[in-house]
Structure 1
Amino acid sequence: MDIISTTEALAEFCEHAATQNFVCVDTEFMRETTFYSELCLIQLATPEREAVVDPLADNIDLAPFCALLVNDTVIKVLHAARQDMEIFYQLCDCVPGPIFDTQIAAMALGFGDSAGYGALVKGRLGITLDKGARFTDWSRRPLSEKQLSYALADVTHLRDLYPGLVQELTDKGRLKWVEEEMLPQMEESLYTFDPEEAWQRLKVRNPKRQYLAALKAAAAWREREAIAKNVPRRRILKDDAMYDLAQQRPRDLKALERLRGIPRGFEKSRSATGLVDAIAAAVDNAADYAPPAPKVQHMPPNLGPRVEMLRTLLRLRTEVVGVATRMVANASDINRLAAFGEDAGVPALKGWRRDMFGEDALALLRGELALRLDGDDVVAETVTPQ
């Protein structure tokens, strides 16, 4: 097993990887007590070599790895890439690419919604993964050979999976589907932590301007505190406290102390005054500071039967083609389709999703398509509306 703990060894491996068509990448990290993920291990595999990189090794410089991540001639193969991408963004200060996510590929080939890595390896390679080391504290040193082998298997099996997935996607004309599905993950805004945008992680429970201003200010204050102290947001204040602050808008520490969501004694902390001042300033300047109220589109009544019929049609169409239902339409999409039809503004009415499901969904809503039982099977057939 190649264990890399020096900058020189990492640079040599990355120079090799830069000559390959693809490199499989995975990480092990800890985040239970921190705001940012603590990168503890990097696993790499090319068609010819594999290695485990110790990012916690003394004096190691990960710059060669960052250069590999942004090398646009080498495809980076990951499974369920979202969290890894966040780590890479913090490490390299840019979004890496190009990326191929085997979880999305598996969805495009009918392995179900959010296919797990173990299930994919079992289904495609017939290998049952050893899960004995999955709860390892990856920040501790030294790591055992068993732990390192467990971690390395996450990329060596990816290396075996990738060519077959690409070939089948190509044969079925679905490679573009995966590339399209990856586009949202390439948005830089997904990986930045702008305190002034932190309110968007919360549910807006009141459209009034002063509530929105206070919610935005409280969320921004919490985000800055969490980043500065590198602790999870909940360690600063829980979400329920954010809603209480937005609703009550305390202007002094006494008023803050009375809020149910504020921990006892918090008003005595050094940061409490900053929170109260931030909320007061935001409320006083609500006309300029408050974000726009979210547009609420009221759903018509009695959607249940239409929703159930659309769900059945979706399952019918995706099972025939062999693609995960969530890749075509999620629950929210189905509800909007049932309510607004052509005006739903959902992905299912665009591109290949419309061809596979959207047109038939609209026909069903217009009464031009019917579902019926044929023995044990559900079939869809064209009908003439009465």
Structure 2
Amino acid sequence: MSRRPPAGADQAPALITETGELAALCERLRAEPFVTVDTEFMRERTYWPELCVVQLAGEAEVAVVDALAPGLDLAPLGALLADERVVKVFHAARQDVEIFLLKFGAVPTPMYDTQIAAMVAGFGDQVSYDGLARSLANAQIDKAHRFSDWAARPLSAAQIAYAAADVTHLRRIYQGLTARLEREGRTPWVAEEMAALADPATYRADPETQWERLKPRSHNRRFLGLLRAACAWREREAQRVNIPRQRLVKDETLLEIAATAPANPAELVRARGITEGFAKGKSGASLLAALAEARALPDEALPEVPRDRAGPPPSPALVALLKVLLAAQSEAHHVAPRLLASSEELERLAAGEEDLPALHGWRREVFGEQALALKTGRIALGVDGKRVRVIAAG
């Protein structure tokens, strides 16, 4: 039976390459209140991320799991990530969680992202792990191996030490942030933010909506239908052949293809970036088939033209005032401005929309109510020394 190491000073990181070792480690970690987690992966040449290394740390031990070790079964890790008694702590969790969702079919639960928590705690927009390590763990992170080839084997001692550091200091960062947010009564704020991370839909790209990312400036619904078909084809084909979507076909090429609507390889090869081999090959044939289906769609099945905002555009002066208020409230409450409202939200708020994240939950308390009051003239902005402050109008 595996025994839990004694609490105390951190142990040197263990390199896990066998299923039995991983199972014993995960069994010990399942007795912890929280576990810090990170991954190293390769994605430059593939659509799907290739998981290479998983780093795990509990109270007194740190381990680096070689996910590419021959014969290693990651099932014990999946069980740990699914254990609701143990909080899984990440920094900038999105890509790590995507990998685990692909590997195990579920997101880790429960989950805590220290980057989001740090934004709530006033450390600024998208604060780096290095910055939090300096501020909360009094540690300096050596990022020399940031761009290592994590798929190459064997892993070097320096790579193992670098990987372990990403979860070692995360323990103190997590403890410092949770204590600070608890004192300030902001723990529920963080919980609201974690809800989006826990939604599997956050990580799954819908091929049928990929065309919207290109923000086409056209009211021609037939063109939009062709673009939708081309973008959906690219997403599925990139997944099938496992290469990045932009490496398969670039955005500007898809826009050109949707505009010219090629019907055969000779027409398709005229688009920039399309080779003769591609146009006459399997990928070209499937793209032309998708375009043919889009051409045959009846008008009612075509995408709707994105609606312009009703009414006149918002006053630039009002948008500017809302930006000042946002900065003032962010400063007063020590919370990152980006977490309260985006520039687009401010414009929509100035235009009269009210179904906005900034007007719901804790954001409404911190910023939304004041923004509505500013719009209706119930408050004004003044300067007190070197700070902008809210004053009652009247």
- TM-score interval, smaller chain: over 0.9
Equivalent residue of 1:3, what SS? strand
Aligned counterpart in structure 2 of residue 63 of structure 1, from 69, 75, 84: 75
Superposition map of 1:88-107 within 5 A: 88-107=100-119
Q: Counterpart of 2:315 in structure 1: which amino acid?
A: L
Paired position in structure 2 for 1:149: 161
Q: Which string of whole-angstrom CA distances, capped at 9 and with x for unpartnered residues, describes residues 338-374 of structure 1?
A: 221xx33211111221121111111211222222223
Equivalent residue of 1:107, what SS? helix
Seen in structure 2, the aligned counterparts of structure 1 residues 64 and 289 have a Cα distance that, compared at 3 Å, is farther
Aligned counterpart in structure 1 of residue 333 of structure 2, from 321, 339, 344: 321
Deviation at 1:23, TM superposition (A): 0.6
Distance 1:290 1:236 in 2: 25
Distance 2:101 2:345 in 1: 30
Paired position in structure 2 for 1:349: 359
> 1:21·1:74 contact (CA, 8 Å) conserved in 2?
yes
Deviation at 1:111, TM superposition (A): 0.2
Paired position in structure 2 for 1:381: 391
Any stretches of 5+ residues in structure 1 without a counterpart? Answer: none
Equivalent residue of 1:91, what SS? helix
> 1:216·1:290 contact (CA, 8 Å) conserved in 2?
no
Distance 2:360 2:205 in 1: 31
Aligned counterpart in structure 2 of residue 335 of structure 1, from 330, 343, 347: 347
Paired position in structure 2 for 1:125: 137
> 2:55·2:63 contact (CA, 8 Å) conserved in 1?
yes
Seen in structure 2, the aligned counterparts of structure 1 residues 194 and 383 have a Cα distance that, compared at 3 Å, is closer
Q: Which has the higher mean CA deviation after the structures are superposed, 289-298 or 104-113?
A: 289-298
Deviation at 1:14, TM superposition (A): 0.7
Distance 1:241 1:157 in 2: 45
Aligned counterpart in structure 2 of residue 280 of structure 1, from 292, 315, 323: 292
Aligned counterpart in structure 2 of residue 271 of structure 1, from 274, 283, 289: 283
- Aligned: 1:370 with 2:384: no
Paired position in structure 2 for 1:162: 174
Superposition map of 1:201-212 within 5 A: 201-212=213-224
Equivalent residue of 1:312, what SS? helix
Deviation at 1:319, TM superposition (A): 0.9
Distance 1:47 1:289 in 2: 56
Distance 1:96 1:295 in 2: 38
Paired position in structure 1 for 2:247: 235
Distance 1:271 1:375 in 2: 65
Deviation at 1:239, TM superposition (A): 0.8
> 2:136·2:172 contact (CA, 8 Å) conserved in 1?
no
Equivalent residue of 1:211, what SS? helix
Distance 2:194 2:216 in 1: 28
Paired position in structure 1 for 2:120: 108
Distance 2:225 2:298 in 1: 5
Seen in structure 2, the aligned counterparts of structure 1 residues 172 and 149 have a Cα distance that, compared at 3 Å, is same
Q: Which has the higher mean CA deviation after the structures are superposed, 300-309 or 101-110?
A: 300-309
Paired position in structure 1 for 2:319: 307
Deviation at 1:214, TM superposition (A): 1.1
Aligned counterpart in structure 2 of residue 45 of structure 1, from 57, 78, 103: 57
Aligned counterpart in structure 1 of residue 229 of structure 2, from 191, 209, 217: 217
Equivalent residue of 1:276, what SS? helix
Paired position in structure 1 for 2:208: 196
Q: Which has the higher mean CA deviation after the structures are superposed, 280-289 or 149-158?
A: 280-289
Seen in structure 2, the aligned counterparts of structure 1 residues 59 and 288 have a Cα distance that, compared at 3 Å, is farther
> 1:244·1:261 contact (CA, 8 Å) conserved in 2?
no
**TM-score, normalised relative to structure 1:** 0.94
Q: Which has the higher mean CA deviation after the structures are superposed, 264-273 or 210-219?
A: 264-273
Equivalent residue of 2:309, what SS? coil
Deviation at 1:71, TM superposition (A): 1.2
Q: Percent identity?
A: 46
Q: Counterpart of 1:376 in structure 2: which amino acid?
A: K
Distance 2:31 2:314 in 1: 59
> 1:107·1:114 contact (CA, 8 Å) conserved in 2?
yes
Distance 2:139 2:67 in 1: 29
Deviation at 1:9, TM superposition (A): 0.4
> 2:314·2:347 contact (CA, 8 Å) conserved in 1?
no
> 1:210·1:290 contact (CA, 8 Å) conserved in 2?
yes
Aligned length: 382
Distance 1:200 1:244 in 2: 16
Aligned counterpart in structure 2 of residue 358 of structure 1, from 368, 374, 394: 368
Q: Which has the higher mean CA deviation after the structures are superposed, 51-60 or 87-96?
A: 87-96
Distance 2:392 2:303 in 1: 47
Any stretches of 5+ residues in structure 2 without a counterpart? Answer: 1-12
Aligned counterpart in structure 2 of residue 31 of structure 1, from 20, 38, 43: 43
Q: Counterpart of 1:189 in structure 2: which amino acid?
A: A
**TM-score, normalised relative to structure 2:** 0.92
Distance 1:41 1:373 in 2: 52
Distance 1:216 1:261 in 2: 19
Seen in structure 2, the aligned counterparts of structure 1 residues 188 and 200 have a Cα distance that, compared at 3 Å, is farther
Q: Which string of whole-angstrom CA distances, capped at 9 and with x for unpartnered residues, describes residues 134-153 of structure 1?
A: 12111111122111111101
Aligned counterpart in structure 1 of residue 28 of structure 2, from 9, 13, 16: 16
Seen in structure 2, the aligned counterparts of structure 1 residues 14 and 285 have a Cα distance that, compared at 3 Å, is same
Q: Counterpart of 2:194 in structure 1: which amino acid?
A: M
Distance 1:100 1:13 in 2: 21
Q: Which string of whole-angstrom CA distances, capped at 9 and with x for unpartnered residues, describes residues 215-244 of structure 1?
A: 221112212221111111112100111111
Equivalent residue of 1:271, what SS? helix
Distance 1:288 1:38 in 2: 41
